[in-house]
Amino acid sequence: MTDQKENTANAVSNTEKVWFISGSSRGFGRIWTEAALQRGDKVAATARKLESIADLKGKYGENVLTLRMDVTQPDQVQSAVKAAHDHFGRLDVVFNNAGYSLVGMIEEASADDIRALYETNVLGPVSVIQAALPILRKQGKGHIVGTSSGVGHLAYPVIGYYCSSKWAFEAIHESLAAEVKQFGIDVTIIEPGAYATEFGSQDSIKFAQSIDWYNDFKGQFVEGLRKMEQGDPKATPEAIFEVVDAEQPPLRLFLGSHNLPEIREAYAQRLKTWEEWEAVSNAAQG
């Protein structure tokens, strides 16, 4: 009888989606969490500091479940995913959004800097995926969505390790998409360009120890980033909704107007180089 009451209390209409979102406290994570709640969906919102998302309960009541979760702690991830599923009865959208940037030249960053970045940006999302997949597979449906970046396709100086973490993120999600399609599970990689979020705040960015030789170069690069036109993050939720509501969602979606021209140029240059060296490549076939 108790189980029946719980199932009734936790029942969710088929017209509503149940989201599990990592990194709900700020930036895109906060915006997309609130947008989903405002349209009437249910959200399991997670953050490393529970107090940073405590206000969501007062605003959205029973539609939101707030959970403490550090993606670098696999046990916390397993517990949070289970709690979300137990509470709402299903998971429709599992959104890997937690992450941060490391500023530092390739020579500057320590092994500890790089390891910590990958613990959050690469291994953290893997923990979420591995915790959610048994649930989604049993459901026979679900959508895993991950926040990458335009730098998941090309690498800049100064943030090379951050770029590399997004290249790894992209590869993992692309492989995942092929592996889980047989179970009715979709995968989409969201690739924002430059946006006016808190991503540049001290909570979202870390700095490697500086080497003086690079100060001028690094300063010019950072100044260039500051001058870039930034998109309005509040304009993005409708694009996210179109993806999660689509019958056949795309594997990748750019957010903003700057990524495609830049990446089109980069890939054209890559093709040009490969073609110029094609004879050498072919000769190496043996």
Dihedral of CA atoms 235, 239, 242, 244 in degrees, nearest 10, equals -110
Q: Tell me whether residue 195 is one of the annotated catalytic residues.
A: no
Helix, coil or strand: residue 105: coil
Which listed residue (42, 60, 164, 166) is catalytic? 166
- Stretch 109-123: mean pLDDT: 97
Q: Tell me whether residue 149 is one of the annotated catalytic residues.
A: no
Alpha-carbon distance values, 191 to 18, 164, 170, 177, 285 (Å): 22, 14, 10, 16, 35
Short-list 246, 139, 123, 134, CA closest to 187: 246
Model confidence over 95-115: pLDDT tens digits?
Answer: 999 999 999 999 999 999 999
Short-list 95, 102, 93, CA closest to 69: 95
Short-list 142, 146, 143, CA closest to 121: 146
Whole-angstrom distance, CA of residue 10 vs CA of residue 49: 25
pLDDT at 174: 98
- Stretch 174-190: mean pLDDT: 98
Is the per-residue pLDDT at 3 higher than 60? Answer: no
- Stretch 50-64: mean pLDDT: 96
Domains of the chain: 2-255 (3.40.50.720)
What is the share, in percent, of the chain residues with pLDDT greater than 70?
92
For the chain, give the mean pLDDT: 91
pLDDT at 198: 57
pLDDT at 1: 41
Q: Tell me whether residue 166 is one of the annotated catalytic residues.
A: yes
Model confidence over 229-241: pLDDT tens digits?
Answer: 788 999 999 999 9
Which listed residue (60, 100, 118, 162) is catalytic? 162
- Residue with the larger pLDDT of the pair 227 and 135: 135
Alpha-carbon distance values, 177 to 147, 217, 237 (Å): 15, 39, 23
Is the per-residue pLDDT at 265 higher than 50? Answer: yes
Which listed residue (24, 25, 148, 164) is catalytic? 148
Is the per-residue pLDDT at 160 higher than 80? Answer: yes
Whole-angstrom distance, CA of residue 19 vs CA of residue 66: 12
Which band of pLDDT confidence, cut at 50, 70 and 90, is reported for residue 193? Answer: confident
pLDDT at 202: 53
Model confidence over 76-98: pLDDT tens digits?
Answer: 999 999 999 999 999 999 999 99
